């Protein structure tokens, strides 16, 4: 007889497969294909491993950062992806996302559900050093993609230098080195004419 705990874990694994179907606005590097949330989360996890040496706080728990970036968008299975530059809907912790977190993570056994909800909430709050580095990864990846795609989502209506700079400045809370690199990419975008400075 299969233990109930294992069955709940398998049910969760099946449920999160839906993340592969949540399309983002940002396209893959040098591509016309939009990435999905699962690809995005995987990429952030590897970025965290590779770029960890550039975290301002070297005492952070890298495993926690990896958990954060792997689960941070799971709520979008229910709540959908919100474009970071959306002017109609705020790109923050909405009630819909909280309800989604409770539903999806509660598929797991109670102890695991509580751990992942707490990690998700810590990421959303963005206060801990781990959350700040995780958020730096989350903001850096689409910046790299847009730079490789002739502006990518920077070409959407209403997106300009000021909005990009404001949204990406979160990077500096996690890594001053990566923020300097990001600033240079943003400035290069302006020089190339793929990001408008109004």
Let me know if residue 124 belongs to a domain: yes
Helix axis angle for 129-148 and 37-51, nearest 10°, is: 110
Let me know if residue 98 belongs to a domain: yes
Alpha-carbon distance 52 to 112, whole Å? Answer: 26
Helix axis angle for 161-168 and 129-148, nearest 10°, is: 150
pLDDT greater than 70 at residue 91: no
* Domain span at 152: 4-192
Biggest CA–CA distance in the chain, Å, is 65
Per-residue pLDDT at 179: 98
Using alpha carbons only, how large is the chain's radius of gyration in Å? 17
Alpha-carbon distance 108 to 141, whole Å? Answer: 29
Query: What residues are paired with 36 via a beta bridge?
Result: 23
Let me know if residue 54 belongs to a domain: yes
pLDDT greater than 70 at residue 160: yes
Q: Kindly indicate the confidence band of residue 88, based on its pLDDT and cuts at 50, 70 and 90.
A: low
Which DSSP helix (H) or strand (E) runs through 35?
strand 34-36
Let me know if residue 198 belongs to a domain: no
pLDDT greater than 80 at residue 93: no
pLDDT greater than 90 at residue 41: yes
Average pLDDT, the chain: 94
Let me know if residue 197 belongs to a domain: no
Q: Kindly indicate the confidence band of residue 33, based on its pLDDT and cuts at 50, 70 and 90.
A: very high
Domain count, the chain: 1
CATH of the domain at 166: 1.10.3210.10
Q: What is the pTM of this model?
A: 0.94
Alpha-carbon distance 90 to 84, whole Å? Answer: 8
């Amino acid at each position: 007889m299969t233990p109930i705990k294992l069955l709940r874990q398998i049910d969760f694994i099946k449920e999160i497969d839906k993340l592969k179907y949540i399309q983002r606005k940002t396209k893959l590097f040098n591509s016309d294909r939009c990435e999905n949330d699962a690809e995005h989360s995987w990429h952030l996890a590897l970025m965290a491993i590779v770029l960890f040496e550039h975290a301002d706080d070297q005492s952070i728990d890298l495993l926690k950062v990896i958990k954060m970036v792997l689960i941070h968008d799971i709520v979008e299975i229910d709540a959908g992806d919100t474009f970071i530059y959306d002017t109609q809907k705020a790109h923050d912790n909405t009630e819909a996302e909280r309800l989604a977190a409770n539903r999806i993570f509660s598929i797991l056994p109670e102890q695991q559900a509580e751990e992942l909800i707490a990690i998700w909430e810590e990421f959303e709050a963005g206060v801990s050093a781990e959350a700040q580095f995780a958020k730096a990864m989350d903001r850096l990846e689409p910046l790299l993609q847009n730079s490789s795609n002739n502006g990518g989502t920077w070409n959407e209506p209403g997106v300009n230098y000021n909005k990009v700079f404001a949204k990406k400045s979160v990077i500096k809370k996690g890594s001053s080195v990566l923020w300097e690199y990001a600033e240079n990419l943003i400035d290069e975008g302006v020089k190339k004419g793929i990001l408008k400075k109004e």
